Amino acid sequence: MRSAEKKKEKGKAQGKRVVTIYFMGKKYEVPEGLTILKALEYLGYRLIRGVGCRGGFCGACTTVYRKHGDYRLYVGLACQTPVEDGMYLTQIPFVPAEKPRYDLDKISPSQSVVMALFPEIARCIACNTCTKVCPQDLQVMDAIQAILRGDLAKAARMVFDCVSCGSCTLRCPAEIQHFYVFQLVRRIYGKYIAPKAKHLEKRVKEIEEGKYEEELNKLIKGGPDLWRELAEKAQTGEEVIVE
Amino acid sequence: MSGYPPEFRESIRLVEETRDKRLEEQYPRITPEEKEKLLKRWHPDYKEEQKRKIRVGASKGELAPLEVARLLEAHSRLRNVDLDLSEPDYDVDILIIGGGGAGASAALWANYSGVPADRILIATKLRFGDANTKMAQGGIQAADKDYDSPIIHFLDVMRGGHYTNNPELVKILVTNAPFIIKWLEDLGVMFDKEENGDMIEISGGGTSRYRMHSAGDYTGLEIMRVLMDEVLNRGINILEFSPAIELLMDDREQVAGAVLMNVETDEYIIVRAKATILTTGGFGRLHIQGFQTTNHYGATMDGVVMAYRVGAAIRDLDSVQYHPTGAAWPIQIAGQLVTEKVRGLGAQLVNIEGEQFVYPLEPRNVVAAAIIRGCQAEGRVEARQ
């Protein structure tokens, strides 16, 4: 029996329908319901690039595909996208982009810094291709436009869910390297725009001054009986005093 | 609903139909004897045939899961391979093996302490940042509010560990935690905050104070990508897709670097280092006893195995944490955690008929055993793809 038929048999044996996909031009039949990633492994491909966390977090498995009778080019994450009948697809192993180096402590939190490091964002032609391909459904173009208007805070919040898969960067006619732009904008927001947590600063200072040192050392010496007694108090919200 | 196959839709219908009835009923707690019986029969940690003694090395005779013992005893990949160690490909001060949160932090702190960026090398099996750190969604604990203190944090940790933790380590944890949050804030991590800058902190499992900081539902991802950006900003060297496959020792039998392998070209890469740091993570992806895992694809215990081969003893490898609630289907979310918090908030555990089968607030191991019994004995839920 030819291998493809065997696979088909296997698919049938599991009581599942099969779909036909074309991986880098080769025709295969795989059980319906698999993700693109699982389908490739089912077919025997050993993936080094184009695979990552398998949970939709890391953006390593960007895949591009067309569908039978449809001229559009689709982009998705292979670990999250199910196979469909008539898919023509390939994995993208890497997205070429150059990360500029900067010292966050020395830059000013301004639009001009972002423009100086990424002047190409001024080339945005508002075509919205980036937004259309984003597997995280981010308003990518609007975020770039927000930066161009100088609203870094808005841009940072808009692109918080970016997984740096680079789909937008590959498709952008203005050749913007979105995921590095967004990383800078988020860090500027986190460091300079969002107000600092004063209670955090206070606690760090207390610890540095050794405020808890004596109590903690007493606790350690006290052993499990003391820990248990005081832990129960902490649970009920009673004041905890280490003597 | 539309994404579910017919048998699931039928089951969802049953679960929905029985919901009103279930709201009235409370599944009884089981007795300590019943618990013991349930655990012995169904909990994977109690399956003696799934563990065995390690046959070689510094921890010879200790129990480990079969999957772990097999790896610890395996032959070296470099058996019958001639390597010329006299001309290392890289000669650095610090080699860091593993490119997750721990590896990136080690590199940054080495650099802060004065080791030049070009004297540090991070070697990682996948891409830099592909690690469990990225998978952590919920949050990160630090006692930094006025209603909280490192003392209370210490007690909560001890209680969670049934008072068996090493107290000195717990002290380090609770006193360093606020400092690390501050460090991350200064690096630009977008923590969830009130308008005045106060951290929004919520309850975590087993804590007596609201202490969990978060960054949306992507706390770990946000921390990891900021750390990565900073490592790249400082020009620290990174070798991706180049896992270490064996540690190297000098004539005094001290670790002095590693042999890496470029997994795309199969080339060996020799690294000489004054200090070698292992930040390779855990073993969830060994899929112990065939279970799904919450771990990243790369978590295959490489560092533990390499360290064992150069003589390090291992400890506490005989137990695995089996979290009761997580996704087994569909593949897109297989292995993802369903937080324990949902049980605390009143969620019930039901089978495909919409019947409860365990009291929801039993301890983790009991709930896990009851779910496995349901899947394996009664065949009612598909345990694993």
On whether both A182 and A147 belong to a single domain, the answer is: yes
Tens of pLDDT, residue by residue over A145-181, are 999 999 999 999 999 999 999 999 999 999 999 999 9
Active site residue B373: no
Count the domains in chain A: 3
On whether both A177 and A220 belong to a single domain, the answer is: no
The mean pLDDT value for B16-28 works out to 92
On whether both A137 and A183 belong to a single domain, the answer is: yes
Strands A26-31 and A18-23: antiparallel
On whether both A64 and A123 belong to a single domain, the answer is: no
Kind plus residue range of the DSSP H or E element containing B99:
none
pLDDT of residue B143: 98
In a domain, A162, yes or no: yes
CB atoms B130 and A53 under 8 Å: yes
On whether both A83 and A142 belong to a single domain, the answer is: no
Using pLDDT thresholds of 50, 70 and 90, give the confidence band for residue A239.
confident
On whether both A86 and A18 belong to a single domain, the answer is: yes
φ and ψ at B276, to 5 degrees? Answer: -120, 130
In a domain, A100, yes or no: no
Residue A5 reports pLDDT greater than 70: no
B68 dihedral zone (left: phi>0; alpha: psi -120 to 50; beta): alpha
In a domain, A203, yes or no: no
Domain of residue A172, residue span:
111-193
Q: Which residues of B touch A241 (CB under 8 A)?
A: none
Reported ipTM: the value is: 0.92
Q: Which residues of B touch A38 (CB under 8 A)?
A: 331
Tens of pLDDT, residue by residue over B207-265, are 899 999 999 989 999 999 999 999 999 999 999 999 999 999 999 999 999 999 999 99
Burial of A75 (C-beta count, 10 Å sphere; 0-12/13-18/19+)? buried
Q: What is the mean pLDDT of chain B?
A: 91
Of B215, B287, B324, B244, nearest in space to B78 by CA: B244
In a domain, A224, yes or no: yes
In this predicted structure, which of A51-55, B37-41, B369-373 has the lowest mean pLDDT? A51-55
Kind plus residue range of the DSSP H or E element containing B58:
none
In a domain, A40, yes or no: yes
> A35-49, A199-213, B321-335 — which one is most confidently predicted on average?
A199-213
Separate counts of helices (H) and strands (E) for chain A: 10, 5
On whether both A137 and A185 belong to a single domain, the answer is: yes
On whether both A141 and A216 belong to a single domain, the answer is: no
Q: What is the CATH number of the domain that holds A78?
A: 3.10.20.30
On whether both A129 and A181 belong to a single domain, the answer is: yes
Burial of B199 (C-beta count, 10 Å sphere; 0-12/13-18/19+)? buried
Closest partner CB to B167 (pick from A54, A194, A220) = A220
On whether both A134 and A182 belong to a single domain, the answer is: yes
Using pLDDT thresholds of 50, 70 and 90, give the confidence band for residue A6.
low
Cα gap B298→B318, rounded to integer Å: 21
Percent of chain B with pLDDT over 90: 72
Residue environment code for A85-114, b if the CB has 16+ CB neighbours within 10 A, otherwise e: eebbbbbbeebebeeeeeebeebebebebb
Q: Which of these three, A44, A59, A91, is where a domain ends?
A: A91
More confident residue, A100 or A11: A100
| B127 in reach of chain A (CB within 8 A) | yes
pLDDT of residue A1: 44
In a domain, A152, yes or no: yes
In a domain, A161, yes or no: yes
In a domain, A136, yes or no: yes
What distance in Å separates residue B250's CA from the closest CA in chain A?
A: 32
Tens of pLDDT, residue by residue over B43-81, are 998 999 999 999 999 999 999 999 999 999 999 999 999
pLDDT of residue B384: 37
On whether both A119 and A154 belong to a single domain, the answer is: yes
On whether both A186 and A228 belong to a single domain, the answer is: no
Long-range contacts of B26-33 (CB under 8 A, 24+ apart): B26/B359, B27/B348, B27/B356, B27/B357, B27/B358, B27/B359, B27/B360, B28/B359, B29/B359, B29/B362, B30/B358, B30/B359, B30/B362, B30/B366
